[in-house]
Chain A
Amino acid sequence: MPTTLTAAQIVALAPDAASATAGRALASLHKWQNLGQNDVAAWGECQGSGKAPYRVQIDLCEPAFRCTCPSRKFPCKHGIGLLLLLAAHPAAFTAGAPPAWVAEWLATRDQNAQRRAAPAAGAGAEAPPVVPKRSGLPGSAAAREARVADGLEELDRWLCDLVRQGLASLQGRGHRFWDDMARRMIDAQAPGVARMIRDLPQIVASGEGWQSRLLERLARIHLLIAGYRRRSIVSPDVLAEVRSRLGWAQDQERVRAGPAVRDTWLALGQSVTEEEKLRVQRTWLWGERTGRPALLLSFAPPGKSLDRSVVVGTALDADLAFYDGIVPLRALLVQRHSSPVPIQAMPGHATIASGLGAWADAVARNPWLDRYFLSLTGVVPLLDGERWVVLDGEGRSVVLAVRPQQGWRLRAISGGRAIALAGEWDGTALMPLSAWDGDAIVCLD
């Protein structure tokens, strides 16, 4: 099976820059022997420094890697090299039955997958357990609720102090001031709020108009506290939203067991950001029939790779299960019904007003929403003074949050004509993630 990944996507699988470079160097036919492939896997032998060549294999469905080299990196350079080679020279891989060492591994992977799938399917048939993971530790859930409640009361007093004394004095505060409160929220087991507080010093340092932006953030935190105080009376959706924002993780197995939404999901954009040493990948999908966005998240600590199994520019018929929330966005890919196919056109809003209408609808229901997927089908990117904007057929515009080179790329793709582009809207600017060049999606990284 030839891989659908491009060289850049394969290189992005590498856990670090050194592995990426070494992997590229190994993607040369003369380094390899006994290259082979079948419908689900590819394999080959690579001469390393040892006597026996390393045996390298890739399960192409995910992709997953295995190699006999002693490296502790995952995937190792040999895995990256083999996959790059497959992308560049599919013909060099003999199609046929895998050798025993590949077949064994694939068989164990199959068994594991079935074992993982079984309890999920069972849970779907019966009533889902409410908090399955915590059931073994009685009292711990309640203890956390109490700690969070106490922490939030302290935070609210702190917020009130800030506005009583006035925001003007905050510019002189060092990082300690904010860090202390963030750490107290970690201790109070509300890591979501801790993150919101850690973002505040950047706002204070963000230049003209920072007081307005800061007040907005403080008000949003206050609103979260108010929401948690009313946890016994708010609707289940609002409660789920508040608890996720505070930092409660929703149990994945429970989400997976919830109702599935089957659709042809178009992968329209992907962004990777660094948050406290963790790489966070956001993959935005658009449901062809349901007309709703969905967000797949993947997290990778240093040395681990992100999940690249959904490729931007492809459409997949699949079941998604959404996390609970006021405007459910985050989802898990539960089951694929067919292999991904290239998308034929970019769906989206014909005008900026219509796109912002969808945002208004979502943010009116969920005041904590900080980013939303926005796809526009008829806009011209152009440089307006120092900033890049897109202009629609009605003469309306939004600002793009882009590096100059990305702005020029959009301009080049457009040729001055209206194009389709998609990205993340944060309430003030659109960060474009992809554009349609007439034939295919172009990712803007």
Chain B
Amino acid sequence: MATGPLHHNELWETLVATAILGTERRPFIQLSAGGALGAALEALDASQGERALLEAAALVSAYRRAGTVPEVCAAQPGAPESPDDDLPVCSPRAVAHLLAMLNGTHSVVLPEWLSALAAAGKRAPPSVLPEILEAGRTRSALRPLIRAVSGARGRWLAAQNPDWEYAAGAAAPAILADPAAVNAVWQTGSSAARRALLDTMRSVAPDSGRALLESTWADERAEDRVAFLQCMETGLSMADEPFLEGALDNRSKEVRTAAAGLLARLPEARLVHRMIARLAPLLRRVPPERSWLPGLMQERAGSIDMTLPEMCDRAMVRDGVDTRESDGASPKERAQWLHQMLRGVPPAHWCACWNAAPADLIAAAARSKWRDTILPAWIYAAWNTRDADWAEVLLRLDPSHTELLPLLSVERQEALLLDLLAEGEGLPGLRRVTGLLRQTRHTWRPHFARAVLAAVRKQISNPLLPIDYGVHGALTDVALRLPPDLLPEIVRDWRGLAMHEQWQGAIDRLLATLQFRSDMLQALRD
């Protein structure tokens, strides 16, 4: 029994329905269609049901495959086209280096590649933008560098993928000229976009940035408030003090702590004055004993004595002092109050107050029985107020506080490290400064690089010394800081030096990394 002429879709659906049930239950029926297809279908021998079904299916599916018509797309190109980029793209060789790093070869060099690309005034070609943006998704430290090299195309692309929002936008100072755009981002943007906007405003026009934050401060969520206060760090000045002082009344402890930390960086802040007033009766410098023996002067640097506070009042809590009991507390708890108050005073104040150099005061604190209360507070305060003089003396006392190193200029960092290296005579000196060496973030100047390598060689070439795994591990970071121009010299110096197999592997990797950096920087200059 034949049916009427069918469209190929209906033909196919009929065949599929028959095949699903099986010709046993649903016998194959001769199909009719128009044209050549119909003629071919009619020629099939329907008496052999299964075979006829398979042959009809072969015919109709070939007909349909050959007749595939592209669908009319409902989606429109949608987003506007990307604006043009002004910066030139880097060379294919530079791209090859990037792809190698993204695939795991020398991936630690990636930050240097990104910053060198930005410094060369070039951008990454569009085809690698997804990989770069993806790298920034998981490694947030790379984000500022990524934004610098991804260009207009990168911002355009990132705006279309929520995972890459950090690079999407609005950060270009150009936006600041357009108050409507600023308002739009601030009112409706995501947390990340708003933070990026506030960051930019604080670096260009800090007061407008603060005003923007104040305009919505009352309605922000606590975690956003903390994040926005972190943005206030950029461009911080006394003009921000009234706002931050007000933030001390916030209900959230995290917000209060963040505000107090910022205020402690402003010597004229009311909070700092209140802390100084509280500490003045409690802290006393024991002057150095006068000695007629000049050599002993250092030994008699004096000391610092203190009286523990009796109670912790609400004003102190408001200023960021954390306490469990308000009075009748243990001496340990009371020392903790004092420690926290000391954190709130810029250390330079004590130099002025006692007319002494940082070195004298730190030596005095080190001799005090309150050493463990005072020194950690000063380390924090030196770091918080970015006080390079104090940081340097504190590092000389104890090089393990590596977080202080970035406060020093590059020149001072190298000078300090050279001193420490020399003090320890080879290995002990090297071991002492390993942590600080790993903390450097600049490309070392040649004379400093040579001194470090000489110390490493001295340690390695002594077969009697056990392998120092601290130094061994630090070589990975050393490879990132050595100036690549030194490569031929370094290869020459190391060739033929007998050493333990484990050192050999580490040195090979160091040279390979240095070679890679040298090639990479060359390719970025091309």
Chain B minimum-CB-distance residue to A411? B157
Of residues 173 through 205 on chain B, the ones whose CB sits less than 8 Å from some CB of chain A are: none
- Asked if A249 CB lies within 8 Å of chain B CBs, one says no
- Asked if B51 CB lies within 8 Å of chain A CBs, one says yes
Which residues of chain A come closer than 8 Å to B465, judged between CB atoms? none
Taking a contact as CB atoms under 8 Å apart, the answer to whether A389 and B51 are in contact is no
Shortest C-beta distance, A383 to chain B (Å), equals: 7
- Asked if B72 CB lies within 8 Å of chain A CBs, one says yes
A168 to B25, CA, bound (A): 12
Q: Number of contact residues on B: which range applies?
A: 35 or more
A367 to B67, CA, bound (A): 12
Which residues of chain A come closer than 8 Å to B80, judged between CB atoms? 416
- Asked if B126 CB lies within 8 Å of chain A CBs, one says yes
Of residues 158 through 172 on chain A, the ones whose CB sits less than 8 Å from some CB of chain B are: 159-161, 163-168
A159 to B508, CA, bound (A): 63
Taking a contact as CB atoms closer than 8 A, the residue among B24, B62, B70, B509 that contacts A353 in the complex is B70
> What 0/1 readout, one digit per residue, does chain A (272-284) give for beta carbons within 8 Å of chain B?
0000000000000
Of residues 502 through 526 on chain B, the ones whose CB sits less than 8 Å from some CB of chain A are: 508-509, 511-512, 515, 519
- Asked if A234 CB lies within 8 Å of chain B CBs, one says no
A160 to B51, CA, bound (A): 6
Which residues of chain A come closer than 8 Å to B153, judged between CB atoms? 412, 415
Chain B minimum-CB-distance residue to A226? B55
- Asked if A440 CB lies within 8 Å of chain B CBs, one says yes
- Asked if B439 CB lies within 8 Å of chain A CBs, one says no
Taking a contact as CB atoms under 8 Å apart, the answer to whether A215 and B75 are in contact is no
> What 0/1 readout, one digit per residue, does chain A (229-262) give for beta carbons within 8 Å of chain B?
0000000000000000000000000000000000
Taking a contact as CB atoms under 8 Å apart, the answer to whether B74 and A163 are in contact is no
- Asked if B219 CB lies within 8 Å of chain A CBs, one says no
A383 to B161, CA, bound (A): 10
- Asked if B156 CB lies within 8 Å of chain A CBs, one says yes
* A164-B22, A416-B80 known; A219 vs B61 contact (CB < 8 Å): yes
* A30-B515, A211-B19, A417-B81 known; A405 vs B69 contact (CB < 8 Å): no
Taking a contact as CB atoms under 8 Å apart, the answer to whether B126 and A363 are in contact is no
Shortest C-beta distance, A344 to chain B (Å), equals: 16
Taking a contact as CB atoms under 8 Å apart, the answer to whether B78 and A219 are in contact is no
From B92-100, B274-282, B352-360, the one touching the partner chain is: B92-100
A219 to B12, CA, bound (A): 12
Taking a contact as CB atoms under 8 Å apart, the answer to whether B511 and A168 are in contact is no
Taking a contact as CB atoms under 8 Å apart, the answer to whether A211 and B77 are in contact is no
- Asked if B79 CB lies within 8 Å of chain A CBs, one says yes
Most buried by A among B66, B76, B491, B511: B66
- Asked if B68 CB lies within 8 Å of chain A CBs, one says yes
> What 0/1 readout, one digit per residue, does chain A (8-25) give for beta carbons within 8 Å of chain B?
100000000000000011
Taking a contact as CB atoms under 8 Å apart, the answer to whether B69 and A356 are in contact is yes
* A222-B55, A408-B161 known; A364 vs B62 contact (CB < 8 Å): yes
Chain B minimum-CB-distance residue to A442? B127
Name the prevailing secondary structure of the A interface residues.
helix
From A131-139, A182-190, A391-399, the one touching the partner chain is: A391-399
Taking a contact as CB atoms under 8 Å apart, the answer to whether B66 and A360 are in contact is yes
Taking a contact as CB atoms under 8 Å apart, the answer to whether A215 and B57 are in contact is yes
- Asked if B329 CB lies within 8 Å of chain A CBs, one says no
Taking a contact as CB atoms under 8 Å apart, the answer to whether A391 and B73 are in contact is yes
Which residues of chain B come closer than 8 Å to A361, judged between CB atoms? 66
Taking a contact as CB atoms under 8 Å apart, the answer to whether B54 and A408 are in contact is no
- Asked if B16 CB lies within 8 Å of chain A CBs, one says yes
- Asked if B21 CB lies within 8 Å of chain A CBs, one says yes
Which residues of chain B come closer than 8 Å to A396, judged between CB atoms? 70-73
A408 to B130, CA, bound (A): 6
* A212-B16, A215-B57 known; A89 vs B519 contact (CB < 8 Å): yes
A440 to B93, CA, bound (A): 13
A367 to B57, CA, bound (A): 12
* A160-B50, A165-B24, A437-B125 known; A427 vs B65 contact (CB < 8 Å): yes
Taking a contact as CB atoms under 8 Å apart, the answer to whether A222 and B134 are in contact is no
Of residues 1 through 56 on chain A, the ones whose CB sits less than 8 Å from some CB of chain B are: 6-8, 24-25, 28-31
- Asked if A318 CB lies within 8 Å of chain B CBs, one says no
Which residues of chain A come closer than 8 Å to B73, judged between CB atoms? 384, 389, 391, 395-397
Chain B minimum-CB-distance residue to A166? B22
Of residues 258 through 311 on chain B, the ones whose CB sits less than 8 Å from some CB of chain A are: none
Which residues of chain A come closer than 8 Å to B81, judged between CB atoms? 415-417
Taking a contact as CB atoms under 8 Å apart, the answer to whether A219 and B16 are in contact is no
Shortest C-beta distance, A424 to chain B (Å), equals: 15
* A7-B100, A24-B105, A223-B58 known; A412 vs B157 contact (CB < 8 Å): yes
Which residues of chain A come closer than 8 Å to B509, judged between CB atoms? 25
- Asked if A216 CB lies within 8 Å of chain B CBs, one says yes
* A160-B54, A216-B57, A384-B74 known; A412 vs B130 contact (CB < 8 Å): yes
Taking a contact as CB atoms closer than 8 A, the residue among A165, A211, A398 that contacts B16 in the complex is A211
Q: Number of contact residues on A: which range applies?
A: 35 or more
Chain B minimum-CB-distance residue to A364? B66
- Asked if B33 CB lies within 8 Å of chain A CBs, one says no
- Asked if B53 CB lies within 8 Å of chain A CBs, one says yes
Which residues of chain A come closer than 8 Å to B157, judged between CB atoms? 408, 411-412
Which residues of chain B come closer than 8 Å to A218, judged between CB atoms? 19, 54, 57
Shortest C-beta distance, B63 to chain A (Å), equals: 9
* A218-B54, A356-B69 known; A165 vs B61 contact (CB < 8 Å): no
- Asked if B160 CB lies within 8 Å of chain A CBs, one says yes
Most buried by A among B57, B129, B491: B57
Taking a contact as CB atoms closer than 8 A, the residue among A6, A25, A168, A409 that contacts B130 in the complex is A409
A209 to B332, CA, bound (A): 74
Taking a contact as CB atoms under 8 Å apart, the answer to whether A411 and B160 are in contact is yes
- Asked if B90 CB lies within 8 Å of chain A CBs, one says no
Taking a contact as CB atoms under 8 Å apart, the answer to whether B72 and A360 are in contact is no
A218 to B24, CA, bound (A): 18
Taking a contact as CB atoms under 8 Å apart, the answer to whether B75 and A168 are in contact is no
- Asked if B23 CB lies within 8 Å of chain A CBs, one says yes
Chain B minimum-CB-distance residue to A225? B54
Which residues of chain A come closer than 8 Å to B366, judged between CB atoms? none
Which residues of chain B come closer than 8 Å to A193, judged between CB atoms? none
Shortest C-beta distance, B344 to chain A (Å), equals: 48
Taking a contact as CB atoms closer than 8 A, the residue among A7, A160, A385, A405 that contacts B96 in the complex is A7
Which residues of chain A come closer than 8 Å to B495, judged between CB atoms? 30
* A405-B130, A408-B130, A412-B127 known; A163 vs B75 contact (CB < 8 Å): no
Shortest C-beta distance, B159 to chain A (Å), equals: 11
Shortest C-beta distance, B130 to chain A (Å), equals: 4
- Asked if B483 CB lies within 8 Å of chain A CBs, one says no
A427 to B68, CA, bound (A): 8
Which residues of chain A come closer than 8 Å to B77, judged between CB atoms? 380, 382, 391, 416
Chain A minimum-CB-distance residue to B97? A7
> What 0/1 readout, one digit per residue, does chain B (475-495) give for beta carbons within 8 Å of chain A?
000000000000000010001
Shortest C-beta distance, B125 to chain A (Å), equals: 7
Taking a contact as CB atoms under 8 Å apart, the answer to whether B70 and A220 are in contact is no
Shortest C-beta distance, B51 to chain A (Å), equals: 6
Taking a contact as CB atoms under 8 Å apart, the answer to whether B20 and A211 are in contact is yes
Which residues of chain A come closer than 8 Å to B105, judged between CB atoms? 24
Q: 11 A-B pairs, CB-CB below 8 angstroms?
A: A8-B99, A30-B495, A211-B20, A218-B19, A220-B61, A222-B55, A360-B66, A408-B130, A412-B127, A413-B127, A440-B92
Closest 9 CB pairs of A and B: A166-B22, A397-B73, A219-B57, A415-B82, A160-B50, A416-B81, A396-B70, A219-B58, A408-B130
Given contacts A218-B54, A408-B130, 7 further A-B contacts (CB under 8 A): A89-B519, A163-B22, A165-B24, A218-B19, A382-B75, A384-B73, A397-B72
Residues of A within 8 A of B (CB): 6-8, 24-25, 28-31, 88-89, 156, 159-161, 163-168, 211-212, 215-216, 218-220, 222-223, 226, 352-353, 356, 359-361, 363-364, 367, 380, 382-385, 389, 391-392, 395-398, 405, 408-409, 411-413, 415-417, 427-428, 435, 437, 440, 442
Residues of B within 8 A of A (CB): 12, 15-16, 18-25, 49-51, 53-55, 57-58, 61-62, 65-82, 92, 96, 99-100, 105, 125-127, 129-131, 134, 153, 156-157, 160-161, 491, 495, 508-509, 511-512, 515, 519
